[in-house]
Amino acid sequence: MLVAAAACPCPPLLVPEVAAGAAPELAAARDACADALGVLAASRPDLLVVVGPADDGGSYPEGTPGSFRGFGVDLGVCLGRGGTPLAPSQRALPPSLTVAAWLLERTDWSDAPVTGLAVAEPLTAELCGSVGAEAAGRAARVALLVMGDGSACRTLKAPGYLDERAAGFDAEVARALGTADVSALQALDAGLARELMASGRAPWQVLAGAAEDAELGGALLYEDAPYGVGYLVAAWS
């Protein structure tokens, strides 16, 4: 069953080597992510499931490598322990799980085995819920690290330009994550999330499915929109 969860944003800019001179702008977000991972460690899970958005869904075993070379930095990571060089037939981590792997390495995660789960944007709320329920049943004590960004339409210079609906969407997600409101996450409009380029919609609904009967409480640790993108950090326990 689910005993704890953390929601973190997944921009590669979280990684100082990628952000370069802009690294200080996301220092507070990085610190909040570390605090959220501390909540996961304190829950003493038997398994950590890392969930993130990707073009294609699928599972990634512990030790799967990822890289930030596509973002101009020769920096590699692996998911949890036991990483090896990428085999010709092996899929590398998608960007969201690569950021998660970096966060876990940064906090020296060694509290439980780790597995990765990528979810594709078109996945419906119902299917997300089923995926979450299955993930929560993988061990007696499961923790989730859920990666995903809010809208990318908060300012004129945002990746999706300014959309007046974006601030309200992000505010509702922040409220739901901060209060562990499972029903509100389940009710997120997939079409609106797509229009606002909110990559976290499907992962958050996976979280909702995992937490439906867990009776966890939530705390919002960070909320801001640098670069016009909504970044949120929350911890459930």
Q: What is the largest CA-CA distance in the chain?
A: 47
Closest by CA to 177, choosing from 154, 200, 153, is 200
Range(s) of the domain holding residue 115? 2-236
**Higher per-residue confidence, 102 vs 25:** 102
We report the CATH number of the domain holding residue 218 as 3.40.830.10
Closest by CA to 174, choosing from 192, 201, 148, 150, is 150
- pLDDT tens-digit readout, 48-77: 999 999 999 999 999 999 999 999 999 999
Amino acid at 229: V
Give the pTM: 0.95
Structure tokens at 215: 């009776």
The model's confidence at residue 7, banded by pLDDT at 50, 70 and 90, is very high
What is the count of structural domains for the chain?
1
Cβ neighbours of residue 163 closer than 8 Å, sequence gap 6 or more: 151, 153, 195, 196
- pLDDT tens-digit readout, 103-128: 999 999 998 999 999 999 999 999 99
Q: What is the mean predicted confidence (pLDDT) over 7-21?
A: 93
pLDDT value for 82 = 73
pLDDT value for 87 = 55
**How far from the centroid of its chain's Cα atoms is residue 159's Cα?**
19
pLDDT value for 184 = 98
Percentage of the residues of the chain whose pLDDT score is greater than 70: 97
Percentage of the residues of the chain whose pLDDT score is greater than 90: 90
**Higher per-residue confidence, 158 vs 206:** 206
